[in-house]
A and B are shown apart, each in its own frame.
Chain A
Amino acid sequence: MTLGRACVILALAIAPIGAFASIYGARTRRREWVAVGRRSVYALAAVLTVAFIVLESAFLRSDFSFQIVATHSSIATPFFYKAAAMWSSQEGSLLLWMWLLSLWSSLVLFLTRNRLRELAPYATAVLLGFATFFGALVVFLANPFQLLSPAPGDGTGLQPLLRHPSMMIHPPMLYSGYTLFTVPFAFAVAALIARRTDAAWIRATRRFGLAAWCFLGIGILIGARWSWSELGWGGYWAWDPVENAALMPWLAGTAFLHSFMVQEKRGLLKMWNVCLVLGAGILAILGTFLVRSGILQSIHAFGGSTLGVPFLGFIALLVLGSVLLVASRREDLRSPEARSYSPLSRESIFLMNNVLLVGLCFVIFWGTFFPLISEAVTGNKASVGPPWFDRYTVPLAIGLVFLSGLGPLMAWRKTTLAGARRSVQGPGAFAVVVLVALLALGVPAKPGALALFACAAFAIGSVVQELYRGVAVRRATASEVAPVALVSVVRRNRRRYGGYIVHLGIALLFIGVGASAAFQHVRDVRLSPGKTATIGGYAVHYVRATSRVAPEKVTLGAVLDVSKDGRHVTTLRTTRGYYPSPDPTAGPVGQYFDGDSTTEVGLKAGLRRDIWTAVQPDVGAMQKMIDGIDKRFPLAQGDTQRFLLTAVAQRYVAAPPPAVFRLIVSPMVEWIWLGGIVLGLGGLIAIWPPPRAQRSRAPASSWSARLGRELSRA
């Protein structure tokens, strides 16, 4: 047995033993058993780290005695992609999931090792329950340490579509998000079991929820960037089931990060928060299930799977367990006293935001699973496309952007009408000015897009106003220059201003989404060298064909000049790479054009607009030549094969057949990525722990004096 295999089997043994020890410790209140449970999580992290290193080193060494390496890497695969190839496989990604789960679980249990003594053991058991499930998958159904004997001399290589720098970090980010969502889930379950539904569990896990939200959000955006710059279809979001699977827990997470504050401050929404956290945790598992099961058609379906049934069983268990637990604890989840909301208060805005977020989540859930629902009801598998999603999600998104501007302007508990008017008039005026300016500049009157821009302008105005006011307050009290005051005020109120900066990022992101969706120009054209097509006011001239032969692929492409009103704007280079199919009967040249192929997009990115193109060379025009060579040299290999491929490539350049180009001019796409960076920065500020306050435990002669002292330190 290899070290890696032994480690995952050991992990599968440790997880249920630790879960049992934790529950036993919680029931008997024995400290040593609780410690056994906690240390089981540390041990799990240690053995899984060893397993991860073993597998990763096998990829980096191109050790093809491991089946997973032979089927997902090759000698020619660049080092950078060898390191990332592990999670392109089902087995490797499940190991990654489990390893990340063990790391985050260890971190939260280490941080709470001397606190939450009633909750932590139950949370440990839940986290180890997740580890047991994934451990069983890795040991029995998706063994990443399967060996081949004899080992092949070379592997089949990494899926060409995944050869993009984003793929190095996109899956770990998503999986970090998914696994981090299990932490609040575990503590929510623990709080319900122990009947401790106060805000303590929220306080302990809020940062983990926020980290999950950040990781998942950034992971989603990196995936969208990959789609835009690597996939040749010309979009960044397709309402694909796997994209939706990541978006749903993120939306639920957004909702509970807001409603947590209402429970912390007012003791309200206990039931709602527990349901949101449990829902986000289950949606995170559902996301993994959708990626790994292949139950729904997806561009992410990189391989078939047999994991559907166990995943469904596990999700059913989570749903049933959560429903029963919440139902049995409904009395504990009631707010201690009836407290009303003022409509003009921040908690009211949060409540509305939660309704919209949950509504959005439901719409996406319905649209994603509609093929299964329709098949179950009618027997026909029908699916819904982007227009269906847009019809429902656009109004909800506009509402959310508006609320992201309104929330910061409202005080907690109650804002007077005069105060609300004072706060709203600046951002409101800014929104109106932006709207009028857009219409005056001749932006087409598309109501959805214009409403989105106005709401985003309102949100930006609101955040800028709040930052300005905060700086003014700081300057008045501490006599600091504006930049120092800005840093001070943000540092002293990280949660508040971190959140505002996230709102700013959301507004920028939605400006990009609205502009690119509403005002994008798309055209598919067939061009020969020397010909020109126009799109969105730009002239795109096909200058010449290109080709390149490398060990792992043959690349055919094109160089295009883009100009506007006679002035050169940019030169775009787009290619299509052809990777050899493993079928040797296809011939030494033909096998390259029968295998996988990927597009390298030609992209000129800018804050005003992106000019995007992807080429589809007409390989069929050369088929006769390819067939002739294959017939004449059926056994060509090595240098001969390369010579023949070069001959075909040179012929393509010398007499290029017309190629099909997709041309896109899309305004403000870069704002989406810019918004993502701002969003991540805001999340980081909000998550950063405040300096540890030294609290006085000595009784004070005056409680007010002590309160003042503790407040200044907090």
Chain B
Amino acid sequence: MQFLLVMLVLCGATALIVSPLYGKRRGLIGDDAEQVALEAARDAKFREIRDAELDFRTGKLSKEDYRALDNSLRSEAIELLRRLDAARGVEVAE
């Protein structure tokens, strides 16, 4: 019984590990590094915009500072969205 269980685990693990070598999804990996980096930067920028707004509304930023900061953050966010679209191969509208 023990032997059968050992063989079952061995065969199961082997099948799980080697199956990609015989599967359909073989080939070269696409490069997603830039896209992933841009997505991370976009999400961080969105958080920054929301944080700046909350900082302003909770009295930590003056109106002038907030406006200047928000404009700059939004410009940076738009630039990131443009680059992200380009990295994804989406046609970019100007």
Q: Name A's B-contacting residues (CB within 8 A).
A: 1-3, 6-7, 10, 14, 17-18, 25, 29-36, 39-40, 42-43, 46-47, 50, 115-119, 194, 196, 198-200, 202-203, 264-265, 409-416, 418-420, 422-423, 466, 469-470, 473, 493, 495-496, 697-701, 703-704, 706-707, 710-711, 714
Is A196 touching B33 in the complex (CB atoms < 8 A)? yes
- Residue in A14, A412, A698 whose beta carbon sits within 8 Å of that of B13 in the complex: A14
Confirm or deny: B74 has a beta carbon within 8 angstroms of a beta carbon on chain A: yes
Shortest Cβ-Cβ A-B pairs, 10 listed: A35-B20, A699-B93, A411-B55, A469-B58, A411-B60, A264-B44, A203-B40, A198-B37, A43-B13, A6-B6
By beta carbon, the residue of chain B nearest A414 is B65
> Could you name 5 residue pairs across A and B whose Cβ atoms are closer than 8 Å?
A46-B16, A118-B32, A469-B57, A469-B59, A707-B78
Point out which of B20, B49, B93 has the most chain A C-beta atoms below 10 A from its C-beta: B20
Q: How far is the CB of B3 from chain A (nearest CB, A)?
A: 8
Residues A10 and B17 in contact in the complex (CB < 8 Å), given A32-B23, A707-B78: no
The 0/1 profile, CB within 8 Å of A marked 1, for residues 28-62 of chain B is 11111100110111011011111110110111111
Q: Are A419 and B9 in contact (CB under 8 A)?
A: no
**Residues of A with C-beta under 8 A to B91:** 699
The answer for the CA separation of A18 and B17 in the assembled complex, in Å, is 8
State in angstroms the CA–CA spacing of A6 and B36 once bound together.
Answer: 40
Contact yes or no, A701 B28, CB < 8 A? no
Residues on A with beta carbons closer than 8 Å to the beta carbon of B10 = 6, 10
Which one of B18, B19, B60 contacts A419 once the chains associate, using CB atoms below 8 Å? B60
- In the assembled complex, the CB of B32 is this many whole angstroms from the nearest CB of chain A, namely 5
> Chain B interface (Cβ within 8 Å of chain A)?
2, 5-6, 9-10, 12-13, 16-21, 23, 25-33, 36-37, 39-41, 43-44, 46-52, 54-55, 57-62, 65, 69, 74, 77-78, 81-82, 85, 88, 90-93
Per the bound structure, the CA–CA distance linking A418 and B60 in Å amounts to 9
Is there an interface contact between B17 and A416, defined as CB atoms closer than 8 Å? Answer: no
Q: Which listed residue (A3, A32, A473, A707) contacts B25, Cβ 8 A?
A: A32
Whether B9 lies near A30 (C-beta < 8 A) is no
When the two chains form the complex, which single residue of A1, A7, A701, A710 contacts B93, counting CB atoms closer than 8 Å?
A: A701
Known contacts A14-B13, A32-B25, A410-B60: A196-B2 contact under CB 8 Å: no
CB pair B40–A199 under 8 Å, yes or no, is yes
Q: Evaluate whether A422 and B59 lie within 8 angstroms (CB atoms) in the complex, with A3-B9, A699-B91 already known.
A: yes
Q: Which residue of B lies closest to A3 (CB)?
A: B5
Q: CB-nearest residue of chain B relative to A409?
A: B60
- How far is it, in angstroms, between the C-alpha of A423 and the C-alpha of B57 when the chains are bound? 12
CA gap between A530 and B60 in the complex, in Å: 64
Q: Hey, which chain A residues are within 8 Å of B23, CB to CB? A: 32, 35
By the criterion CB–CB under 8 Å, are B78 and A700 in contact?
A: no
- 14 additional A-B pairs beyond A43-B17, A265-B48, A714-B47, beta carbons within 8 Å, are A1-B2, A3-B5, A32-B21, A35-B20, A199-B37, A200-B33, A202-B40, A411-B61, A412-B52, A419-B61, A493-B54, A697-B85, A703-B78, A710-B81
- In the bound complex, how far is the Cα of B77 from the Cα of A141, in angstroms? 54
Expressed in whole angstroms, the Cα–Cα distance for A203 and B47 within the complex equals 13
A117 near B40 (CB under 8 angstroms)? no
Question: CA–CA, A117 to B37, complex, Å?
Answer: 12
With A412-B52, A473-B58 in contact, is A31–B13 under 8 Å at CB? no
**Chain A residue nearest in CB terms to B3:** A1
Please determine whether B32 and A264 come into contact, CB atoms closer than 8 angstroms.
Answer: no
User: Which B residue's beta carbon lies closest to that of A5?
Assistant: B6
In the complex, A200→B46 CA distance in Å?
Answer: 15
Given contacts A34-B29, A117-B29, contact A264 B40 (CB under 8 A): yes
B9 and A31 contacting across the interface, CB-CB below 8 Å: no
Separation of A194 and B57 alpha carbons in the complex (Å): 41
Give the shortest distance, in Å, between A473 (CB) and chain B (any CB). Answer: 4
A46 touches B12 (CB 8 A): yes
If A30-B29, A265-B44, A704-B78 touch, does A40 touch B17 (CB 8 Å cutoff)? yes
Assess A39 versus B20: contact at CB under 8 Å? Given A493-B54, A707-B74: yes
Closest to A492 in B: B50
Cα(A199)–Cα(B51), bound, Å? 18
B residues less than 8 Å from A1 (CB atoms): 2, 6
Q: Given contacts A30-B29, A118-B32, is CB(A415)–CB(B60) below 8 Å?
A: yes
Q: How far is the CB of A651 from chain B (nearest CB, A)?
A: 52
The chain A residue with its CB closest to the CB of B22 is A32
Given the known A-B contacts A32-B20, A196-B37, A198-B37, are A6 and B58 also in contact in the complex, defined by CB atoms under 8 Å?
A: no
With a cutoff of 8 Å between Cβ atoms, the chain B residues found around residue A119 in the complex are 33
Contact assessment for A31 and B40 in the assembled complex, using a CB-CB cutoff below 8 Å:
no
Q: Is B41 a contact partner of A199 (Cβ separation < 8 A)?
A: yes
* Residue contact B41 to A198, C-beta cutoff 8 Å: yes
CA gap between A194 and B37 in the complex, in Å: 13
Decide if A118 touches B69 in the complex (CB within 8 Å): no
Q: Identify the closest chain A residue to B18 (Cβ).
A: A36
Q: How far is the CA of A118 from the CA of B74 in the complex (A)?
A: 29
CB–CB A7/B9 < 8 A: yes
- A30, A33, A699: the one contacting B92 at CB < 8 Å is A699
Q: Are B61 and A200 in contact (CB under 8 A)?
A: no
Collect the chain B residues with CB atoms within 8 Å of residue A203's CB: 39-40, 43-44
Query: Given the complex, which residues of B lie within 8 Å of A496, measured CB to CB?
Result: 51, 54
CB A596 to nearest CB in B, in angstroms, measures: 36
Task: Output the least CB separation between B68 and chain A (Å).
Answer: 10
Question: Which chain A positions have C-beta within 8 A of B48?
Answer: 265, 412
* Chain B residues, CB < 8 A from A495: 47
Select which of A43, A50, A466 is within 8 A of B58 by beta carbon: A466
Contact for B74 among A415, A700, A704, CB less than 8 A: A704
Q: Given the known A-B contacts A47-B9, A414-B65, are A703 and B40 also in contact in the complex, defined by CB atoms under 8 Å?
A: no
**CB-defined contacts of B47 to chain A, threshold 8 Å:** 264-265, 495, 714
Query: Once the chains bind, are B62 and A419 in contact (CB under 8 Å)?
Result: yes
User: How distant is the Cα of A264 from the Cα of B44 in the complex, in angstroms?
Assistant: 6
Minimum C-beta distance from B27 to chain A (A): 6
Give A34's nearest chain B residue, CB to CB.
B29
Do the beta carbons of A118 and B31 come within 8 Å of each other? yes
Question: Which residues on B sit within 8 Å (CB–CB) of A7?
Answer: 9
Given contact pairs A43-B17, A117-B29, A264-B44, A416 touches B2 in the complex (Cβ within 8 A)? no
- A276→B17 CA distance, assembly (Å): 34
Establish whether residues B31 and A31, one from each chain, have CB atoms under 8 Å apart when the complex forms.
no
Q: Which of chain B's residues have a CB closer than 8 A to the CB of A701?
A: 93
Question: What CA separation (Å) do A104 and B25 show in the bound complex?
Answer: 25
- Min C-beta distance of A98 to chain B, whole Å: 15
Q: How far is the CA of A412 from the CA of B49 in the complex (A)?
A: 10
Chain B residues lying within 8 Å of A46, measured Cβ to Cβ, are 9, 12-13, 16
Residues of A within 8 A of B9 (CB): 3, 6-7, 10, 46-47, 50
Partner of B26, one of A32, A50, A420: A32
Cβ of B40: which chain A residues have Cβ within 8 Å of it?
Answer: 198-200, 202-203, 264
| A416 and B81 contact, CB distance less than 8 A | no
Name the residue in B40, B65, B90 with the highest tally of chain A Cβ atoms < 10 Å from its Cβ: B40
A409 to B2, CA, bound (A): 63
Q: How far is the CA of A47 from the CA of B13 in the complex (A)?
A: 8
Which of A17, A30, A697, A700 touches B28 (beta carbons < 8 Å)? A30
With contact pairs A412-B55, A707-B78 given, residues A31 and B41 touching in the complex (Cβ less than 8 Å):
no
Q: Point out the residue from B30, B82, B90, B93 that lies within 8 Å of A697, measured CB to CB.
A: B90
Q: How far is the CA of A612 from the CA of B74 in the complex (A)?
A: 59
